[in-house]
């Protein structure tokens, strides 16, 4: 089988396709033929920086990706036999960009209902979970104004939906190029660009999804009593209270998110879809373009 492997820190173009034997089924394992994989910013960050994420430093070589969607083709003796032929979302932090994954942890496996597409389920990886963590942080840190940078991002659009358009003080910020996309994605939601932001009075919580220090500096100048909760920057030299918010994986949260998507209470932004062989192209596309939904890679 083929897998996409990082062997150095030279960036996207350093990725290689490796051929290796497909994993053998074990009694505690479930073998999945992978179909759809998400392309997320942490992919290309990790490809240049061993300490790009809050977890331990990366060991190379490694198969890239942390999750995806596929169909169960073999089930081990000790696992639920009803999983056979089920479409599943699987978390696989050891590397999901491979044609077959052997899942041995039932907490990391989620059978999918018929009305959740592969693309939607793949988009649930690395995004909605941290958006939920942000809603919890917002609840615990009430403020008069809630500014969201990178509001048109995949996570931003999900967070805005979780909060609702009438959330008190909601001030999503997008770049001028992304304003029309945001309006089309979430009609009726307020949206601003930094140039049109009024001076704020009262406490302002800045939810930072864009991860741009210059943008945060500009915002702080317009907001006298600001604090920042960022999911994109782990530290900051800005002279205001700063918290890095991250997702702690929780099986129940993913079950809840799948149900929320299945019942059409949450819409997930889906972008361009590339083939497995085009993984480098897919990462370049996602990195070099404005965010227009989650970029995906299909294996068939
Ligand atoms: N802490 C965690 O647990 C966790 C989990 C998942 C993801 N993340 C991080 O969360 C961030 C967002 O992820 P995502 O998948 O939602 O990203 P995404 O869809 O690619 O969106 C990135 C957003 O950042 C904006 N942006 C980028 N550079 C900017 C700049 N210099 N100035 C202004 N805006 C800028 C983009 O605006 P345009 O589209 O207008 O260019 C876009 O809104 C990433 O950094 C990712 O690594 C953290």
Name the residue of 150, 174, 236, 287 to mutate for ligand 1: max ligand atoms within 8 A of Cβ. Answer: 150
56 pLDDT above the threshold of 80: no
From the list 66, 64, 68, 5, the residue with the least C-alpha distance to 33 is 68
Q: Spell 13-44 as b/e; 16+ CB within 10 A means b.
A: eebeeeeeeebebeeebbbbbbbbbbbbbebb
Where does ligand 1 bind, in terms of residues with CB under 6 Å? Answer: 40-42, 126-127, 130, 150, 152-156, 174-175, 177-178, 209-212, 215, 231-232, 246-247, 290-291
Nearest to 239 by CA among 230, 250, 226: 226
Yes or no: domain 2-124+249-298 corresponds to CATH 1.10.260.40? no
In this prediction, residue 222 has a pLDDT band, given cuts at 50, 70 and 90, of confident
> In angstroms, rounded to a whole number, what is the distance separating the alpha carbons of residues 34 and 99?
5
The residues spanned by each domain of the chain are 2-124+249-298, 128-244
End-to-end C-alpha distance for the chain, whole angstroms? 13
> Helix, strand or coil for residue 45?
helix
DSSP E strands: which ranges in the chain? Answer: 2-6, 16-19, 30-39, 62-63, 67-75, 87-91, 100-103, 109-111, 145-149, 170-172, 203-208, 225-230, 242-244, 270-275, 294-298
CA of 278 to the centre of ligand 1 (A): 22
The token pair at 225 is 């009593």
Ligand 1 centroid, distance to 215 Cα (angstroms): 13
Contacts of 226 (CB under 8 A, 6+ apart): 204, 205, 206, 219, 220, 240
Q: Is the pLDDT of residue 58 over 90?
A: no
pLDDT score for 243: 98
At 246-293, the pLDDT tens digits run 998 999 999 999 999 999 999 999 999 999 999 999 999 999 999 999
CATH number of this structure's domain 128-244: 3.40.50.720
Partners of 192 in beta bridges: 173
- Looking at the chain, the whole-number percentage of residues with pLDDT higher than 70 is 99
State residue 190's pLDDT score. Answer: 94
């Amino acid at each position: 089988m083929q897998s996409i492997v990082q062997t150095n820190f030279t960036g996207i173009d350093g990725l290689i396709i490796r051929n290796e034997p497909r994993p053998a089924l074990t009694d505690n394992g479930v073998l999945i033929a992978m179909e759809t994989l998400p392309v997320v910013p942490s992919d290309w960050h990790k490809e240049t920086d061993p300490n790009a994420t809050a977890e331990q430093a990366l060991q190379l070589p490694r198969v890239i990706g942390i999750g995806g969607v596929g169909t169960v083709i073999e089930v081990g003796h000790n696992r639920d036999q009803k999983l056979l032929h089920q479409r599943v979302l699987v978390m696989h932090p050891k590397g999901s960009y491979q044609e077959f994954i052997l899942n041995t942890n039932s907490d990391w496996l989620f059978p999918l209902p018929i009305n959740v597409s592969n693309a939607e389920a793949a988009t649930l990886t690395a995004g909605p979970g941290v958006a939920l963590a942000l809603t919890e942080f917002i609840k615990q840190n009430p403020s008069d104004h809630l500014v969201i940078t990178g509001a048109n991002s995949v996570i931003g659009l999900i967070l805005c939906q979780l909060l609702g358009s009438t959330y008190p003080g909601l001030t999503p910020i997008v770049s001028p190029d992304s304003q029309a996309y945001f309006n089309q994605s979430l009609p009726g939601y307020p949206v601003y660009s930094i140039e049109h932001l009024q001076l704020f009075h009262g406490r302002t919580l800045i939810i930072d999804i864009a991860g741009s220090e210059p943008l945060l500096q500009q915002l702080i100048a317009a907001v006298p009593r600001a604090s920042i909760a960022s999911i994109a920057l782990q530290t900051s030299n800005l002279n205001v209270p700063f918290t890095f918010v991250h997702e702690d994986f929780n099986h129940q949260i993913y079950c809840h998110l799948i149900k929320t998507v299945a019942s059409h209470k949450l819409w997930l932004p889906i972008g361009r879809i590339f083939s497995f062989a085009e993984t480098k192209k897919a990462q370049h596309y996602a990195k070099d373009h404005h965010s227009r939904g989650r970029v995906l890679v299909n294996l068939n």
